[in-house]
Amino acid sequence: FKSKDELFTELVDRFVMRVMAVVHRVEPGPGHIALKQIKDNINRVVDLLFNHRELTILVLREAVGVDEKVESKLQTMYGYLHSMVTGALENGASMGIIRPVNTSVAAPALIGAIKEVLYQLVVVQNPKDADRDEVADVLFQLTLRGLQP
């Protein structure tokens, strides 16, 4: 790499791609199958962020507002997550798993809530003390119960 900025941008880009790779589309189907897909997505994100604490700190704390390239990569990731969560909300409502909601409000609210919990646990606190399965389960339960019909 020619500069520290170039290295920083590449690290953010690779981590953003990893996050996007672990969040899979929730396929419509029976309720229990869709719920498992959502829970699996949450588990994969939790594991990724805990397993790569330094990169998580870089993306969640250090990368914001660095420059236009990095900001664009972050917006790509959040746009992808927004699209995935919006689709899951719409599918969940059509299947009767959750109540219909305004997805333009609910999707970023869910992403923001999950992001803040993971920021606090992974960046601020000691991630070695956290039970990843419990973290994923609590996030899943809070998300699901808040959207039940």
Q: What integer is the mean pLDDT of 76-90?
A: 91
Q: What integer is the mean pLDDT of 121-129?
A: 84
Predicted local confidence at residue 149, as pLDDT: 60
pLDDT digits (tens, 9 = 90+) for 26-76: 887 777 888 889 899 999 999 999 999 998 988 888 777 778 888 888 888
pLDDT digits (tens, 9 = 90+) for 86-104: 998 998 888 888 889 999 9
CA distance 99 to 148: 6
User: What contacts 21, CB < 8 A, 6 or more positions away?
Assistant: none
Q: Using alpha carbons, select from 45, 62, 57, 43 the residue that is nearest to residue 122.
A: 57
Q: What integer is the mean pLDDT of 9-22?
A: 90
Are 42 and 114 in contact, with CB atoms under 8 Å apart?
A: yes
Predicted local confidence at residue 83, as pLDDT: 94
Where is 41: in which H helix or E strand?
helix 31-51
Q: Where are the beta strands (DSSP E) in 15-143?
A: none
